[in-house]
Chain A
Amino acid sequence: MSDRFELRGLVWPTLMLLVMAGCGGGDGGGGGGDAGGGAAMEDPVDAATAGNIAGSIVFEGDAPSMAVIDMSQESVCADKHSSTPMIQEVVVNSNGTLANVFVYVKEGLESLQFPTPGAVVLDQNGCVYLPHVLGVMVGQDITIRNSDGLLHNINASPTINRGFNSSQPVSMETTRSFGTAEIMVPLRCDVHGWMTAYVGVVDHPKHSVSNGSGAFSLSTLPPGNYVIEAWHETYGTQTQNVTVTTGETAEVTFTFSAS
């Protein structure tokens, strides 16, 4: 019986496989992983010459009725709501404006590099996400907090960024970030099917979410021409061209209608 078959030949393939397996390992984090945090970078916008954009989102037509959330089986959460919790797909304010519209600078800031802001908090409180719509910059930390002390999971299903699905069985905080601009990243909790949120990831910090008065604001912008976009989860997107001049606040109104 001959031993001519040299088995040293197997050493290399084995090593290759080992190396591949090792490299297959990712950073072990979730969507993005790297800590954002403030860099030593300076704000590239000169406050002396900056202007602003502000405005409101008007809603035309009859506000659609939202379904009631059945929290009867989650007493810890139900107790935190003084009024009946409702689905937040369309929130029309009493002054006829639309809340939860994500407004951001779509074009006009490409040449600037902004420092990454500090972490923002996305709170799971009373079995709802607060806020329902959130804006962050690429690489900016999102501190996802569980204030309810019962199981929530955060199931992020972006199309551009890497998704993640991680749980918080007790009151705790988890930090995540997204590495690429994306409008918008949907989040949901699978344990509480009504819980949804949206994260807008932008290359810069000039974004805003319309509030309980329908107002939004994009401040400290260099003078120039911009395209800004408004996004709503049900009514889609709209863009407008805006010119910013020094010391002035350009007023913009978006109108979304019920039909």
Chain B
Amino acid sequence: MKWEYFSWVMPDNVVSTYGQTLDNLWLVILWVTGIVFFATEIVLLVFMVKYRHREGRKAEYIHGSNKAEFIWTSITFVIVMVLAVYSKGIWDEIRDQDLIPADAYEIQMLATQFEWNANYTGADGLFDTADDFISRNVLHIPVGRPVVVQLMAQDVIHSFFLPEFRVKQDAVPGMITPVWFEATTTGEYTLACAELCGLGHYTMGGTVIVHTEADFQDWLAEQQAAAEDD
């Protein structure tokens, strides 16, 4: 049981480029909400103690204060609007399909009950050709290069969740939804399903293996050779 689990700061395990941006936004929100939290709860507690009923005490007959209403309404409004505006740029960078890096390495991902099947193009770089191959429950990607996953679902809605990359996108049957990200560190990471998809939802996990560029090319060649043998 690690003490870090009780921290409200994002775990220190992020391995994607925009993942770090998201963690920073999280921190900003944490500061703002944290200050508001402590301020309000402490004031509440103080009021409870200070204004408790005692013999002879009388409450103050006051109906309100328009000035106070104006002040706290405006401050709240400004804070939340700033947050919204600040979010827009980050949201566009991650989600806007026109902003997906043009050279992103493309992989098709078919989510089914209860497997993730990653479809690779093979050497010809084209899908639906003889040299395509499938990797079940393991997503191999190169480090330091944008990757775009074309998400598809065969049966019900699943959700493609890479916690360490701060990536999540629902895979909806009948739609192809691109989601892009760029790994910053090699290693093995988690792929999880984050949308209830039936009895096997809890085991619909996989692995993301981030290779160096060279290792990735080797792996591609190996898989292709095996595919051609079949």
Direct A–B contact in complex, judged by CB atoms less than 8 Å apart: yes
Listed by A's residue number, 17 A-B pairs whose Cβ atoms lie within 8 Å are A67-B230, A68-B230, A70-B134, A70-B136, A72-B138, A73-B137, A73-B206, A151-B202, A153-B199, A165-B199, A167-B199, A167-B200, A190-B113, A190-B199, A191-B114, A193-B115, A193-B117
Number of residue pairs across A and B with beta carbons under 8 Å?
38
Contact A190 B200 (CB under 8 A): yes
Please indicate the chain B residues that have their CB under 8 angstroms from the CB of A167 in the complex: 199-200
Interface check B174, CB cutoff 8 A: no
B34 CB–A CB distance under 8 Å: no
Are A73's CB and B230's CB within 8 A?
no
Which B178-230 residues have a C-beta within 8 angstroms of A?
198-200, 202-203, 206-207, 230
Q: How far is the CA of A243 from the CA of B108 in the complex (A)?
A: 56
Shortest Cβ distance from B38 into chain A, in angstroms? 43
* A253 is an interface residue with CB less than 8 A from chain B: no
Q: Which residue of A lies closest to B205 (CB)?
A: A73
| Contact B200–A153 (Cβ < 8 Å) | yes
Determine if B177 is an interface residue (Cβ-Cβ < 8 Å): no
Contacts of B202 in A (CB 8 A): 151
Q: Is A65 interfacial (CB-CB < 8 Å)?
A: yes
8 further interface pairs, Cβ-Cβ under 8 Å (given A68-B230, A190-B199): A70-B134, A73-B207, A151-B200, A166-B199, A190-B198, A190-B200, A191-B200, A193-B115
A190 to B201, CA, bound (A): 10
For B206, what are the chain A residues with a Cβ–Cβ distance below 8 Å?
73
Bound-state Cα–Cα, A153 to B137, Å: 18
Chain A CB within 8 A of B112 CB? yes
Chain B interface category by residue count: 10 to 19
Contact in complex: B114, A190 (CB < 8 Å): yes
Nearest B-chain residue to A193, judged by Cβ: B115
Query: Which 3 pairs show the lowest CB-CB distances between chains A and B?
Result: A190-B113, A73-B137, A167-B199
Q: How many angstroms from the CA of A135 to the CA of B161 in the assembled complex?
A: 42
Known: A68-B230, A193-B112, A193-B115. A73 touches B200 (CB 8 A): no
- The prevalent SS among residues of A at the interface is loop
Using a CB-CB cutoff of 8 Å, which residues 97-116 of chain B contact chain A?
112-115
> When the two chains form their complex, are residues A73 and B138 in contact, meaning their CB atoms are under 8 A apart?
yes
Q: Distance in Å from the Cβ of A161 to the closest Cβ of chain B?
A: 20
Write the chain A residue with the least CB distance to B204. Answer: A191
Q: Report whether B115 and A191 are in contact in the complex, using a CB–CB cutoff of 8 Å.
A: yes
Task: For A65, list chain B residues within 8 Å (CB).
Answer: 230
B134 to A: closest C-beta gap in Å: 8
Measured between beta carbons, the chain B residues less than 8 angstroms from A151 are 200, 202-203
Closest CB-CB distance, A230 to chain B, in whole Å? 29
Inter-chain contact B230/A191, CB cutoff 8 Å:
no
Q: Which parts of A144-162 form the interface with B (CB within 8 Å)? A: 150-151, 153
Q: Taking CB as reference atom, which chain B residue is nearest A67?
A: B230
Q: In the bound complex, how far is the Cα of B222 from the Cα of A72, in angstroms? A: 15
**B136 near A73: Cβ-Cβ < 8 Å:** yes
A153 and B206 CA atoms in complex are apart in Å by 18
